[in-house]
Amino acid sequence: MKHKENGNTKQKIYETAKRLYIEHGYFNISNKRLSEESGINQGLITYYFKSKKNIALAVLTEDYYILSGYLKYFMTPEDDPLMYIVTFMNVTFQIRKHDPKARRFISDVMQEDLLEEFAFVNQKEEYLKLLKKNSSTSENPETQLKLVLATVYGTQRTIQRLINESMELSYDEYFRYMIEILLFALHLPDKSDMVDTLIHKSDQATKQLFKTHPHLLNESDYLYKK
């Protein structure tokens, strides 16, 4: 019974934090506020999660598995790892474009370097397949992967900061540039026709996904309850 109570306590902390972080902003929610909203003391929040970062990382991971669960009906990582990575990026860009709260949450956690950590854990297999296929060095694959993710998400973090500071850049331009950076980081040819093909195919899958499951455009409709 105690084990079940512990599980319920941890889940209540997580579900409350997830809602608050997305609805009100990750940086706007302290553990004190989380404690008040969940009815669970701050000591237990620290005991179960150690830090806010760990909760946010769990949110990113849950979001990934929900979205990839739908995306698998249109493509899988096994079919084409690069296309899958690009299409998942496209999906998340479209959600951020349509859902300002999702956009703010991602912008916040970018500042904590959590997207790199998320990708290293959850998309590791896809990236390593690409690195193994295209790498010409004897460098440790995991070291290569960390460098790739630092390049991709470091660039994305900088661009997002500039956008937040009022730089004008459409999501289509943003997405295209991130594909070019991804190809560069993976030592793949970033020829215009290859980029165009990746965009076209990922757009097709992304549009079909949201046409079939329009609720995925708003995180409050699939990730948490208001």
pLDDT tens sequence across 138-183: 678 999 999 999 999 999 999 999 999 999 999 999 999 999 999 9
Same domain? 117 vs 214: yes
Q: How high is the pLDDT of residue 7?
A: 73
Same domain? 26 vs 63: no
Please calculate the CA angle 91-24-45 and round it to the nearest 5 degrees. Answer: 100
Query: Does residue 226 lie within any of the structural domains?
Result: no
172-219 pLDDT, tens per residue? 999 999 999 999 999 998 788 999 999 999 999 999 999 999 999 999
Residue type, 141: P
Model pTM score: 0.92
Query: Does residue 36 lie within any of the structural domains?
Result: yes
Neighbour-count burial of 10, counting CB atoms closer than 10 A to its CB (0-12 exposed, 13-18 middle, 19+ buried) = middle
Residue type, 66: I
Query: Does residue 134 lie within any of the structural domains?
Result: yes
Q: Is the pLDDT of residue 95 over 90?
A: yes
Count of structural domains, the chain? 2
Domain containing residue 45: 1-50
Same domain? 82 vs 20: no
